[in-house]
Amino acid sequence: MTALHGFEQTRQRRIDELDAVLHEYTHAASGARLCWLEREDENKSFCAAFRTLPYDDTGVFHILEHSVLCGSKQFPVKEPFVELMKGSLNTFLNALTFPDKTCYPVASRNSRDFLNLMRVYLDAVFFPSIHEKPEIFQQEGWHYELRGGVLTRSGVVLNEMKGAFADADELLINAMNRALFPDSPYRFVSGGDPEAIPSLTYEAFTAAHKRFYHPANSYLLLDGSIDQDESFALLDGYLSQFAAIDPDTQIHAQPPVRAERRTIDYPLPAGEPMQQRWKLGCGYVIGTYQDAQTLFAAQVLSDVLCGSNHAPLCRAILEQGLAEDVVLSCDEQCMQPNLLLRVQNFREADLPAIQATIRDTLTALCENGLDREQIEASLASFEFKLRERDYGTMPRGLIFELEILASWLYGGDPGQRAVWRRPRRPPVLQRGVRRSARRHRHRIL
């Protein structure tokens, strides 16, 4: 097999839905993988992603995400990221910590600028200054500080997460993940729990970088009309400095659990009355990343059941004046996508009535069926979104790259999400409701 700059092509296929060709490669020497979605698009994008599975609540990967952008071997200036924002023609530049991955996406219409951005990001993730400068960890993670004669802890991520933990929804989602995924990395708070962040040492922090930011644990993505020769040569220049290892970062699916109800406290602003401030969250794991049709159906179902105040599940609760708001959301950026139903702001005494209403409404919908017109309307709106693929200021290529990661990161087919089609109607949707209402084994209510 011929290799281009160390990359051996393992698969190539046309994806008509995206008017593109998806190429898959491996960089044998370093163990890196690469997907290139070749499309006519001047807005080229690159994303370096790593499978970062939390093993505690210290937020180590969130602190790494901040820290690697604070200087690197070739770009030792303190904040290349900020400098880049000012001088580059980029159309997107960011870094994101997810519950199971960390992504460094960039996009630009200008070829020189694009290669320059790739170089800065590759240098940052593979050769950050964090190993020589412990002060980066202290600044971005945590450190002691004397404030008005009092010793306190501070740090960019620590302070950010203190803010996040003041939000009831954030706490509810964390509690939900602990309950639904008790044996999986998803039980941990990837952003970091302010209580746990100060237990992270500098040594553990740099060791996590060495293990998880290795090419063998990386998922590299290119999209658009890139210069293949130059881009691959640039990547090879970085990757070939590493020898392949086994990073041992497989994600194992969480077996179904029937979690018990649990109650957690959350802070209210000073002086705010406590009445009618209860919140309820019900979580349902709907399958795995491979169940593309179920996932599509779950999204349509969320819209049909709770898309507006007139949707049946919302209406049933709101009409009785039991709560202020009802939201049903679908988390699809993980190995086991799940639905989360949130009922906001009610009185403790109304909890039994709310639970009975949810159960009765779903049971009745199973027996009598969903409103077909509503299903058609929701399907049409999803199809329109899929066809238009209008993501506002977010470059399309980056959305495609995230869709590729939604199966590729778990060992699945990188092209799976790109070819989503309309689900076989009513049967799949009806079954979806029935499952949620009755036989669902993997849930917390």
Neighbours of 79 (CB within 10 A): 12
CB of 66 to Zn ion, least distance (A): 6
CB of 330 to Zn ion, least distance (A): 24
State phi, psi for 151 to the nearest 5 degrees.
-80, 120
**Which residues on neighbouring strands pair with residue 396, listed in sequence order?**
none
Sheet of strand 258-259: strand arrangement: 258-259, 443-444, 278-285, 338-346, 325-331
Separation of alpha carbons 162 and 140, rounded Å = 14
Q: What's 72's DSSP letter?
A: B
Is 191 or 432 the residue whose CB approaches Zn ion more closely?
191
User: With respect to Zn ion, which residue has the nearer C-beta, 160 or 350?
Assistant: 160
User: Quick one: which H or E segment has residue 103?
Assistant: strand 101-108
| Three-class DSSP category at 45 | strand
Q: Which of residues 111-170 bind Zn ion (CB under 5 A)?
A: 160
What's the min distance (Å) between Cβ of 251 and Zn ion? 23
CB nearer to Zn ion: pick between 141 and 395? 141
Minimum CB separation from Zn ion for residue 14, in Å?
39
135 part of the active site: no
Give the nearest distance from C-beta 185 to Zn ion in angstroms: 19
Query: CB-wise, 78 or 162, nearer to Zn ion?
Result: 162
- Our CB check for Zn ion shows the closer of 188 and 408 to be 188
Strands 32-38 and 218-223: parallel
Binding-site residue total for Zn ion (CB under 5 A)? 1
Which residue out of 24, 38, 140, 401 is catalytically annotated? 140
Among the listed residues 121, 313, 316, the one whose alpha carbon sits nearest the alpha carbon of residue 221: 121
Residues 339-378 that bind Zn ion (CB under 5 A): none
**Annotation says 65 is catalytic:** yes
Name the residue nearer to Zn ion (CB basis): 67 or 218.
67
Q: How far is the CB of 161 from Zn ion (least distance, A)?
A: 8
- Phi first, then psi, for residue 44 (nearest 5°) are -75, 145
Structure tokens that stand for 167 in this block: 């939000």
Find residue 220's DSSP bridge partners: 34, 48
Given a contact cutoff of 8 angstroms between Cβ atoms, the answer to whether 39 and 222 are in contact is no
Distances in Å between the Cα of 368 and the Cα atoms of 9, 364, 440 are 52, 6, 19
Pull the structure tokens for residue 214: 């290795």
- Which of these is catalytic: 65, 160, 401, 403? 65
Taking Cα atoms as reference points, which of 219, 198, 178 lies closest to residue 52? 219
Which residue in the shown chain puts its C-beta closest to Zn ion? Answer: 160
β-pair partners for 284: 339, 443
Catalytic residue IDs: 65, 140
Binding site for Zn ion (CB under 5 A): 160
